[in-house]
C-alpha cells in the first residue's frame, strides 16, 4: 500500500469514527424532540378536536410560476391525528400536477421538523381560531336543524295516521 493510500485510509477511518459519534448525538437529540412532540400530541388528543388546521411555515414562487410551501398543522394523517407537516409544490400554470406530501411530525424530514418547532405557537393560535369558527358554525346549523325538525314533526303529527 502506498503512503498516499495509507493516508487516505486513515482519514476515512477517522472521519467515519467521528461521523458515528456525531450520528449518535443527532439521533439522541432527534429522539428527544420526538418524545416532546408526542407529549404535545397526547395533550391535543385529550381535547378530541377532530378539526384539521394548517399554518404556513414558509415557501415561495419563482418567475416561471413554480411554487413551494411548507405547513405545520394538526390533521389526520393515515388513521392518526397529530401535529403534522406538509409540503405543497407545483406550477400555477399546471395545477393538476400539484405535489402534496404530509407526515405526522415525527415522520417528517429532520430539517423540516427543526424549522417547524418555532411555529408550534402559531399552530395552536390557528387551532383556537378554527375551533371558535367551527363552534359558531355548528351552533348556527343546530338552530337550522331544530327549525327543520320542528317543521317536519308538526307535519308528521297531522299527516300520519296513528298506529295502534
Print burial letters for 127-140: b (CB count within 10 Å at least 16), e (below 16): beebeeeeeeeeee
pLDDT digits (tens, 9 = 90+) for 61-110: 999 999 999 999 999 999 999 999 999 999 998 889 899 999 999 999 99
pTM: 0.82
Q: How far is CA 72 from the centre of its chain?
A: 5
Domain locations along the chain: 3-157
Amino acid at each position: 500500500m502506498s503512503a498516499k493510500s495509507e493516508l487516505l485510509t486513515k482519514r476515512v477511518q477517522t472521519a467515519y469514527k467521528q461521523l458515528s459519534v456525531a450520528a449518535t448525538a443527532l439521533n439522541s437529540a432527534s429522539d428527544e424532540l420526538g418524545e416532546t412532540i408526542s407529549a404535545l400530541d397526547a395533550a391535543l388528543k385529550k381535547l378530541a378536536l377532530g378539526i384539521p388546521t394548517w399554518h404556513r411555515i414558509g415557501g415561495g414562487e419563482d418567475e416561471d410560476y413554480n411554487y413551494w410551501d411548507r405547513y405545520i398543522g394538526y390533521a389526520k394523517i393515515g388513521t392518526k391525528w397529530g401535529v403534522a407537516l406538509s409540503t405543497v409544490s407545483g406550477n400555477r400554470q399546471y395545477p393538476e400536477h400539484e405535489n402534496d406530501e404530509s407526515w405526522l411530525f415525527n415522520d417528517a424530514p429532520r430539517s423540516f421538523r427543526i424549522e417547524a418547532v418555532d411555529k408550534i405557537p402559531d399552530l395552536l393560535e390557528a387551532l383556537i381560531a378554527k375551533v371558535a369558527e367551527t363552534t359558531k358554525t355548528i351552533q348556527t346549523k343546530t338552530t337550522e336543524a331544530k327549525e327543520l325538525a320542528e317543521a317536519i314533526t308538526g307535519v308528521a303529527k297531522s299527516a300520519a295516521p296513528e298506529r295502534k
